[in-house]
Chain A
Amino acid sequence: MENSTEARAKLTPNAAAKPAVPTTLSGKLRAKLPSRGWMIFWTTFGTIGGLVVRDHYLTVDAKKRIADKVDVLAKQSCGVQDMPRKVTVYITAPPGDGIHKTRHYFKAFVKPVFDAAAVDYEVKEGLVEGQIQAMVAADVRKKRRIAAGKQSALSEAEQSAPIVPLKSVSDGIVVLGRIALAEVLQGYNDGCLQSLDDPEPVVVAEKVEEVSIKDEAASLATEATGSVEATGSVEATTSMNKSEDTSASTEAAVAAAAAELVAAAATAAKDGEKKEEEKPPAPIPIPQDEAYFSVPPSGLEPVGYIPFKNLTGFRNFHKKVFALFNSYDCVEYAGASVMKVAFAETKEFEKDDLEIGRDEEPLFKKYRGPVEINILDRVREQVKLYVTPENIPELKKIDEEVVVEEQH
């Protein structure tokens, strides 16, 4: 024994300098493994690739699990004259970020469930703030007008056509994120409260006298309030020098529009009269008041809320990396809400439901404050919300000849 240690000590003169902990792999192992550079490469490549593949498998599994639950709806038979169910999806950009985020979220997490459930969808984007509100309000108002007989259900071309093809009618509204929800509910509010008559178009005089502009602007500013509310009793005390044919009920509304026009005209008049002629008249807001309240006969479409959290900012970078490699939980997070929409079980929209999505607000507090929903109780009571179904219909089995059972 001692001879061997002495022999080993002679062979390796630097034995004393050898550290207790080995800093390199043993010679035999090193001979079999690839070089240090390749080891580093394969480790990083393998780790990242492994995470991606793992996430891919898990998302595919998660999507399949959801699709299996929802398949029941897709396998229902569809009559020859029936159209599949259709929903309208409203998306808007999350604050501080682009709309491409919402588009991707929709395509990756919401669309697969719709496809599995055979629910047709139409995506409407709100690129500007308030656009969704305007679209929804216009929709509701159009339905009210058709019901009141002021507008025909068929468009001009369709009226003269011999056969009108089947059209699918939107059966529900789906929103992604709290901001879109607020806009849709406020759009419902506006849509139910707007008057059914279109306001008279304003005829703008080509020459606006500069002298009276400032006086008018001042008086109109005091007259018109921020919100557009027309009350029949209010008459504009200031006589407008412009030639306008307006009915008394719309004067207050026109005053608000005129204030904008006057301000615009003032700047334009300074530039020159030519510009004044080229500029198109500003759109007139439709008067809105509780007196006009009515609901379309088919009711307001139920609303389905899909939570959408968007991480922004440099400090959330680590969270984003984590989310990138674990996107399978988003599939379940969003998928559960989309399933509620697919099964179409609704409940009344209560006051507490206005707080849906509050947990998303801290994420964008840097860009905008908390989202408040202004909706009258009268309108809110007409709205419905999609909820988790209690009874999921089971598929009819042909070989067993069992009638559709309801699974608890």
Chain B
Amino acid sequence: MSFFMNNATNQSVNMQNMAMAEQELEMVSDLFNRIVSSCHQKCIPKTYIEGDLNKGEAVCIDRCVAKFFEVNKSVGTKLQQMSGAGLPM
């Protein structure tokens, strides 16, 4: 999954590219929001003692985000395989 495709060479606004870029932006921001809500729910306890994150929470969030990306990537490739093979969903 590419983040913000490289459009350096093409200067003119291509409607198809614009649509694809918009879609990708939407996907990425949706992914980001999911990560934030999921990892916040799992890693950060409800009672706040101080405003800064502490080390335990920081480690937890690192791992949560890493796992989320891994799973997202593998699910994405799996779906692609399935749709590529033309299996009924």
> Are A84 and B50 touching (Cβ within 8 A)?
no
* A interface majority secondary structure: loop
Decide: A75 near B54, CB < 8 A? Known: A84-B62, A118-B59.
yes
Q: Using Cβ atoms and an 8 Å threshold, which residues of chain B touch A216? A: none
Residue A16 lies at the interface, judged by CB distance under 8 Å to chain B: no
- Given A77-B50, A398-B49, A120-B62 contact (CB < 8 Å): yes
B58 at interface by CB-CB < 8 Å: yes
Interface status of B24 (Cβ within 8 A of chain A): no
How many residues of chain A are within 8 Å of chain B by beta carbon? 17
What string of 1s and 0s marks CB contacts (under 8 Å) between A102-123 and chain B? 0000000000000110111000
Q: Identify which of residues 54-68 in chain B touch chain A, using a CB-to-CB cut-off of 8 Å.
A: 54-59, 62
Interface flags for B41-61 (1: CB within 8 Å of A; 0: not) read 000000001101111111100
Chain A residues contacting B50 (CB-CB under 8 Å) are: 77, 398
Q: In the complex, what's the smallest C-beta–C-beta distance from B59 to chain A, in angstroms?
A: 5
* A63 beta carbon closer than 8 Å to chain B: no
Q: Shortest 3 CB-CB distances between A and B: which pairs?
A: A74-B56, A118-B55, A77-B52
Contacts A74-B55, A84-B59, A118-B58 supplied; 19 other A-B pairs, CB < 8 Å: A73-B55, A74-B54, A74-B59, A75-B54, A75-B55, A76-B54, A76-B55, A77-B50, A77-B53, A78-B57, A79-B52, A83-B62, A84-B55, A85-B55, A115-B59, A116-B56, A118-B56, A120-B62, A398-B50
**Chain B contacts to A: CB under 8 angstroms:** 49-50, 52-59, 62
Q: Which residues of A contact B (CB under 8 A)?
A: 73-79, 82-85, 115-116, 118-120, 398
